[in-house]
Structure 1
């Protein structure tokens, strides 16, 4: 038997083909809900209710998107979601990055206790903090309404406090993966510690910051329960809260699933766009954070 024949048999192993087929099936199952959401958003409601359902785009329309966008509560909710999300990402990256540098580069008293406290915080259920969070914002709002209930800064504080611990732990792996000897070599060449960090270490940590930023963005953009507690006023809504009100309004006049799916698709679009913009950096960041260099 020639070497070429053996190579072909190894290349086309039945087990590998079965695993590839299984992977494709799992991917299709995972992607089908997203496909069905977008298809339903493009389908008239009367057509969507027909039995049996159609799984191919026919008689598509953009009317459902128009009705969702022109809803009076959409633009205020979009504005609030953008402000809260961008502020949360900025705050989380700054504080988590500085904390990750501190516990990775320096040895100080209480360091292990601090790391242990971070891990224990992650074990607390979010639902157990709702009453304390509500009381905290309510009390702060009496003296400073700008950081109280129904405020952008108030919700940003709660989101940041929830996201920073895990983000800090994630960035700690990236910082630990960059040898400190690189900074020391740059300092030997005449650079100060700050310049050595900014010119040598910080560019190597950029993929990790992007990956952490994506995580913070997703957590803040899609969060529902904390916003429900911190934004009790009907005039202050993020997009997930607006979607609930939109669903209730649709149910009162006869549930229009096509419009609900269009509203859901609109909420998902910024996440998809953001992910596509940072996909390359995020992929390299996740890979580099998986090993210690």
Structure 2
């Protein structure tokens, strides 16, 4: 009887599992195409060649992302025949600089908004929130005037670091402030009674306790700078200073369509983010949930 009841309870879950499996396959199908195209050694989108009189099975094989032969030629060509390695290095430097500068400034600002009372505190938080309501392309023209014409930082890594760090600060401040609000103030009061200064409390107590939120914020800042295309394509007018997303677009243009190189480059660009995700995985859930408790 118990076995029968457990089966009856498990029946309604079957359609849900089938639906989730279908969505999973639908999501993975484009990724399988990119991986298969990158390892096919070809530049054509067709992974297999159809015979003169194709059957239904031949047509089915044509849409299944599985190459006839596996090769690493696309990866070797991208890394040796193209300046793709330099573009990836530019992305690493810019994304790392953006993460360090943005998270450092956001930490100090979020701690001030969380612990201190000062004139304009609420207005400052609302200004950060309102700035996130506008698309990034709205600031493209003023940023170009300030960065290129006034500061002379066009086609430079420092210029992109400044732009990316500035645009990531509002989100980072709100994220970190929500986490700082969950840290008990009793810890700071006890440290003050022991003679610790405010800066010592911030560096030795608050930041170690906020490690999950710092990890999540740093990950989002890194990913934003790593994947950004429009600002990098606008400010970088020298080929040697391209970032990886900007460099990928030259593999597929109006005169040449090197889809194999594009797929191989896309996989290489995805590897650092995947590794960073795996490294910070243990902090993701706790950092996201705790940072959303208060705001």
- Interval containing the TM-score (normalised by the shorter chain): 0.7 to 0.9
Q: CA deviation at 1:191?
A: 4.3
The 5-angstrom pairing of residues 182-201 of structure 1 reads: 182-188=187-193, 191-201=196-206
Q: Does 1:100 align with 2:110?
A: yes
Q: Does 1:206 align with 2:206?
A: no
- Matches of 2:18 and 2:291, distance apart in 1: 30
Indicate the residue corresponding to 1:246 in structure 2: 251
Indicate the residue corresponding to 2:119 in structure 1: 109
Q: Deviations over 1:209-233 (max 9, x none)?
A: 0000110011000100001111123
Alignment partner of 2:166: what SS?
helix
C-alpha contact 2:175 2:292 (8 A) present in aligned 1: no
C-alpha contact 2:87 2:244 (8 A) present in aligned 1: yes
Indicate the residue corresponding to 1:279 in structure 2: 281
Indicate which of 3, 15, 19 corresponds to 1:18.
15
Indicate the residue corresponding to 1:262 in structure 2: 264
C-alpha contact 1:48 1:258 (8 A) present in aligned 2: no
- Matches of 2:150 and 2:4, distance apart in 1: 73
Indicate the residue corresponding to 2:24 in structure 1: 27
Indicate the residue corresponding to 2:156 in structure 1: 151
Q: CA deviation at 1:94?
A: 0.4
- Matches of 1:204 and 1:118, distance apart in 2: 24
Q: CA deviation at 1:41?
A: 0.5
Question: 1:24 and 1:172, CA in 2 relative to 1: closer, same or farther beyond 3 A?
Answer: farther
Alignment partner of 1:235: what SS?
helix
Question: 1:284 and 1:57, CA in 2 relative to 1: closer, same or farther beyond 3 A?
Answer: farther
Task: Return 5+ residue gaps in structure 1 as ranges.
Answer: 143-147
TM-score computed with the length of structure 1 as normaliser: 0.87
Q: CA deviation at 1:134?
A: 1.1
Question: 1:41 and 1:117, CA in 2 relative to 1: closer, same or farther beyond 3 A?
Answer: same
Q: CA deviation at 1:278?
A: 1.3
Indicate the residue corresponding to 2:47 in structure 1: 48
Q: CA deviation at 1:243?
A: 0.7
Task: Return 5+ residue gaps in structure 2 as ranges.
Answer: 51-58
Alignment partner of 1:48: what SS?
coil
Aligned length: 281
Question: 1:242 and 1:16, CA in 2 relative to 1: closer, same or farther beyond 3 A?
Answer: same
- Matches of 2:18 and 2:71, distance apart in 1: 34
Indicate which of 67, 72, 83 corresponds to 2:77.
67
C-alpha contact 2:47 2:68 (8 A) present in aligned 1: no
Indicate the residue corresponding to 1:145 in structure 2: none
C-alpha contact 1:182 1:201 (8 A) present in aligned 2: no
Question: 1:7 and 1:125, CA in 2 relative to 1: closer, same or farther beyond 3 A?
Answer: same
- Matches of 2:206 and 2:267, distance apart in 1: 39
Q: CA deviation at 1:49?
A: 5.7
Q: CA deviation at 1:197?
A: 3.8
Indicate which of 144, 153, 164 corresponds to 1:134.
144
- Matches of 2:259 and 2:48, distance apart in 1: 9
- Matches of 2:201 and 2:258, distance apart in 1: 59
C-alpha contact 2:178 2:290 (8 A) present in aligned 1: no
Q: CA deviation at 1:23?
A: 2.4
